[in-house]
């Protein structure tokens, strides 16, 4: 068995090479046998060192498959203060609405520089929990919007799924037009076009370990949980009008809540 000190020393040495740029992000990392030969150590020592680097988020790849230098994710800070910014943008001209959206508010990366940004629109029966939240009958139709973003080639994707009652969305046929995406002003402006002013947004946060699909798609290191944000938007009459599911891997996301308190005097 490889000694603890030996594989950790090797992991630190390999990490230093990665951080110096000797291996480029997305590049194939040498195999266990290649590294064992280069460093004159047992393959088991290399395997443990590589696993340690995967846990540190420096390498990515399934056991037994190709290991690559990880394309580092964007650090995201999701603050509830963003919602007022989004609402303020609803009434601005389209040119202004196009300059600030989810990508800019969460990560500071302009949408135009994203390697991949796409939205898939369809109409489906509402999942039971979504129907309950929106106050719909079981099986009622909803407009589903799946947003996928990748900031660099080889990076994990960021994804969110939103649901809007079909009877509400159909008041504006453009909401079903793929060519309109990305929608300037986002969901709050979309709701504005069908006569809805959002009055309150509730974020419900839970956590779990990622599924295999989430781990692969979002490039989540071993042992890292996923925070699940369920964002529920309510109209001025208290009706839930949109539900959005947002998975956030914990190694790249910070949730920040600011709660103004009423003064005593």
Least confident of 91-105, 108-122, 248-262: 91-105
Q: How confident is the model at residue 46 (pLDDT cuts 50, 70, 90)?
A: very high
Residue 12 has pLDDT above 80, yes or no: yes
Structure tokens at 20: 């110096």
Mean pLDDT over 122-137 rounds to 98
> What's the whole-number mean pLDDT along residues 105-111?
72
Report domain extents, the chain.
4-69, 76-256
- Give residue 83's pLDDT: 92
Q: From CA 185, how far away is CA 74, in angstroms rounded?
A: 22
User: What is the spatial distance between Cα 27 and Cα 69, in angstroms, rounded to a whole number?
Assistant: 6
Average pLDDT, the chain: 92
Nearest to 176 by CA among 203, 141, 207: 141
- Predicted confidence at residue 1, as pLDDT, reads 45
* Residue 7 pLDDT level (bands cut at 50, 70, 90): very high
Q: Quick one: pLDDT band at residue 111, thresholds 50, 70, 90?
A: confident
Collapsed DSSP state (helix, strand, coil) of residue 12: helix
CATH topology of domain 4-69: Arc Repressor Mutant, subunit A (1.10.10)
The span from the CA of 164 to the CA of 235, in Å, is: 12
Cα separation, 34 vs 16, whole angstroms: 18
Q: 76-256 adopts what CATH topology?
A: Chorismate lyase (3.40.1410)
C-alpha–C-alpha distance, residues 19 and 10, integer Å: 14
Q: Report the candidate in 203, 216, 190 with the shortest Cα–Cα distance to residue 246.
A: 203
Query: Above 90 in pLDDT, residue 102?
Result: no
CA angle at 164 for the pair 160 and 170, rounded to the nearest 5°: 130
Determine if the peptide bond prior to 236 is cis (ω within 30°). no
What confidence tier does 98 reach under pLDDT thresholds 50, 70, 90? confident
Confidence (pTM): 0.89
156-187 pLDDT, tens digit each: 999 999 999 999 999 999 999 999 998 999 99
Q: How confident is the model at residue 3 (pLDDT cuts 50, 70, 90)?
A: low
CA-based end-to-end distance of the chain: 68
Which tokens belong to 44?
């088991």
pLDDT band for position 4 (50/70/90)? low
Q: Which helix (H) or strand (E) holds 229?
A: strand 226-235
């Amino acid at each position: 068995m490889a000694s603890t000190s030996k594989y950790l020393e090797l992991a630190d040495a390999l990490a230093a090479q990665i951080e110096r740029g000797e291996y480029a992000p997305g590049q194939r990392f040498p195999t266990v046998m290649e590294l064992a030969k280069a460093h004159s150590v047992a393959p088991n020592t290399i395997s443990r060192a590589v696993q340690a680097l995967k846990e540190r988020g420096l390498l990515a790849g399934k056991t037994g498959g190709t290991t690559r230098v990880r394309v580092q994710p964007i650090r995201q800070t999701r603050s509830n203060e963003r919602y007022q910014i989004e609402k303020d943008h609803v009434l601005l001209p389209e040119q202004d609405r196009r300059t600030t959206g989810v990508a800019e508010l969460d990560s500071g990366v302009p949408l135009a520089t994203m390697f991949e940004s796409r939205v898939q629109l369809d109409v489906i029966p509402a999942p039971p929990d979504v129907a309950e939240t929106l106050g719909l009958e079981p099986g009622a139709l909803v407009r589903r919007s799946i947003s996928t973003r990748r900031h660099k080639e080889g990076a994990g994707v960021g994804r969110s799924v939103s649901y809007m009652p079909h009877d509400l969305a159909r008041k504006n046929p453009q909401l079903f037009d793929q060519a309109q995406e990305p929608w300037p002003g986002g969901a709050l402006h979309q709701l504005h076009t069908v006569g809805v002013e959002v009055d309150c947004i509730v974020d419900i946060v839970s956590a779990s370990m990622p599924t295999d699909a989430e781990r692969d798609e979002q490039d989540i290191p071993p042992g890292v949980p996923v925070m699940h944000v369920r964002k529920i938007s309510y109209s001025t009459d208290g009706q839930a009008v949109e539900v959005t599911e947002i998975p956030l891997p914990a190694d790249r996301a910070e949730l920040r809540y600011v709660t103004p308190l009423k003064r005593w005097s």
